[in-house]
Amino acid sequence: MENKQKFLQMYRDMVRIRRFEETVSDLFAQDRIRGTTHLYIGEEAVAVGACGAINPDDYITSTHRGHGHCIAKGATLDRMMAELYGKITGYCKGKGGSLHIADLDAGNLGANGIVGGGIPIAVGSGLTAKYKNTGKVTVCFFGDGAANTGAFHESVNLASVWKLPVVFICENNLYAMSTPVKEAFLVQDIAERAKAYGIPGMVVDGMDVLAVKEAVEQAAERARRGEGPSLLECKTYRYLGHSKSDPRAYRTREEEKEWKKRDAIQRYRGWLLENKVASSEEIDRIEQEVEEELEKAVTFAEESPYPPLEEITKDVYLEEDFAEIERKKGVKVVNSINEWSANSKMRTITYREALNEALREELKRDENVVILGEDVGLYGGAYGVTRGLWQEFGDDRVRNTPISEAAIAGCCVGSAITGLRPVGEIMYIDFTTLAMDQLVNQGAKIRYMFGGKARVPMVMRTEGGCGRSSGSQHAQSLEGWFVHVPGLKVVMPGTPFDAKGLLKAAIREDNPILFVEHKMIYNNKGPVPEEEYIIPLGVADVKREGKDVTVVAYSRMVLRALEAAEILAREGIEVEVVDPRTLRPLDIDTICRSVKKTNRVVIVHEETTIGGTGAEMGMQIQTEAFDYLDAPIVRLGAADAPVPCSRYLEDNSIPTVEDIVKAVKNILGK
């Protein structure tokens, strides 16, 4: 038979998944593997049928129950087992483990510890495929529980609007942990939800590998023709509990027995024999070979070494000298506007115009740069930063999205790890709360969880700060939340010069970056060179030299610090103003050099003082420059309250120029 090898490989993979999972269960019981695991026993037909229907270079996104998907996509059992053992020879060097195992070389974009976490990422890989016209599809696996998350609805909607080549596969195993599907859905079939998004929905027997394969082949072909996504609901059953500690008290043993009568492996084995595709001897040989492969995998994992301790902090960011790489390309890399000579050609433009120039230049320079977000097209963005770019570069490069923060962020993650350089826009930093999973658990962690094998070159632009009487949900300064996240870089420029140079650098970096602009300085003007330049991230700038007190401030507060310094200079007090510009990574060396010169420091920011970035800066200054301090560190931040709407209250809830002047005088004893 022409497809005999294909059919036999499918059987082999189903048995490999079953025996791998049974072995893992035993190893956990013996405490030879630590942590947690969510086994795929019973659902093998879905992974194998789906992966057998697509090409080797197509993508998949997976779930917390991801071993089966990984094996079906071509993973070897030895490296799989080593990863679960936490060994350096695992697919992710032991850093991902059961919940986050990935094999990027095979197109597996990773298992996911967050329910529904991989769904927006699939939209991103679908965008890459459509934009680059690669003909690839993404198969997105998720459970029935994930079909009730906002990420599911946002992602399916965005994929349908953009007609992306994604096959959404809901593995309905009847229980989201312990909650029965019948209690979580009013619709009879989850596939009915496809109607709301104008895409095909189909119910498939998830215990029949050939039925799954046929359905996915049809959906994948439709996607390759440019007709958009499909939603398949594969009705299946997990034989064991949600995780290894689940006693399964919420379902009956009679129910389990009924489902096991439809066991996918036994059904497929019978089909192979009845249709004379394979003999019982051939099938027995496959099963024996799997046992031998599995035995070798366990031996390989147990004999492999653990990662060396230096691996704890490796792979958090891409470990390259970005500035040097750009210099070798002939790019002008500068740290300060002072590096230009007095006769250099400068223009005075606004902060908004500087950002717009940076985006335009990077769109022209690199065809992989795309912009996406709410109202970034014809409207030009909420604050006009993308104005004119849609007219110049078109729908493919400047993409309006629905109001879907999680899908926007996840699309950036997925497209970044598959070849694009997305620049997303979240209208207000307050709204990043709706995209926290994709920013913090996905984008920031993927490189590390995948053992350093992923690059995530994405920028998420947003704006923060108060000043327009917008109230508590449109005017926060939340940068401290993100500074706390390893794997994410945080940039907050305060001048047009810095805004342009830092945004260009951020777009070229291969790390995920949160780029925060202040709503009150878009119209501020300043000098910007005509010549192209970039400013490397993680380099502070001494905005004003002084000898008496160091004031560390960023974003709008650096402008207030400079104004305060002018006032104090008239009284003979020379303030040195240091602008970190990048909060993570923080250039503590430049800050401490200034502190060692002035012996006093005032830290100013617009976020609340408690838990703010000033606390981290202060602690690092204490550690690095304690012997040079002649006075306690002073922090000025916003009032410990939500942002008030009243203009009078709002204006006085954050540090003013007068507050900075007073703090400097107090620290000097004047």
Q: Which residues are catalytic?
A: 405, 474
Q: Please, are residues 490 and 479 in contact by the beta-carbon 8 Å criterion?
A: yes
CA distance 112 to 265: 26
Strand partners, 169: 141, 232
Phi-psi region of 465 (alpha: psi -120 to 50; beta: other; left: phi over 0): left
Dihedral (CA of 407, 408, 413, 414) sign: positive
Q: Which residue has the tokens 């593997």?
A: 33
Name the CA dihedral angle for 282, 283, 285, 290, rounded to a multiple of 10 degrees: 140
Provide the pairing of β-strand 166-172 with 138-143: parallel
Neighbours of 150 (CB within 10 A): 15
Question: Closest Cα to residue 357, out of 247, 457, 502?
Answer: 502
From residue 180, alpha-carbon distances to 172, 174, 452 in Å are: 10, 6, 38
What span, in angstroms and rounded, lies between the C-alpha atoms of 556 and 638? 13
Which residues touch 174 (CB under 8 Å, ≥6 apart)?
144, 180, 181, 237, 251
Identify whether the C-beta of residue 401 lies closer than 8 Å to the C-beta of residue 162. Answer: no
Which residues fall within 8 angstroms of residue 317, CB to CB, at 6 or more apart?
Answer: 447, 487, 489, 511
Instruction: Walk across the sheet containing 549-553 and list its strands.
Output: 541-544, 575-579, 549-553, 601-608, 634-638
Which of 106, 109, 127, 107 has the alpha carbon at shortest distance from 117? 109
Query: Given the DSSP bridges, would you call strands 179-180 and 59-61 parallel, antiparallel or unpaired?
Result: unpaired
- Render the burial of 377-388: b for 16+ CB within 10 Å, e for the rest: beebbbbbbbbe
| Number of CB atoms found within 10 A of residue 404's CB | 24
- Percentages helix, strand, coil for the chain (3-state, rounded to 5) are 45, 15, 40
**Distance between CA 6 and CA 209 in Å, rounded?**
12
Q: Which amino acid belongs to residue 233?
A: E
3-class secondary-structure state, position 134: coil
How many Å apart are CA 230 and CA 137, to the nearest integer?
A: 11
Are residues 476 and 430 in contact, defined by beta-carbon separation less than 8 angstroms? yes
d(CA 398, CA 426): 14
Residue among 471, 443, 439 nearest 456 (CA):
443
> Residue 248: what are its φ and ψ, rounded to 5°?
60, 40
Cis peptide bond prior to 307, omega within 30° of 0: no
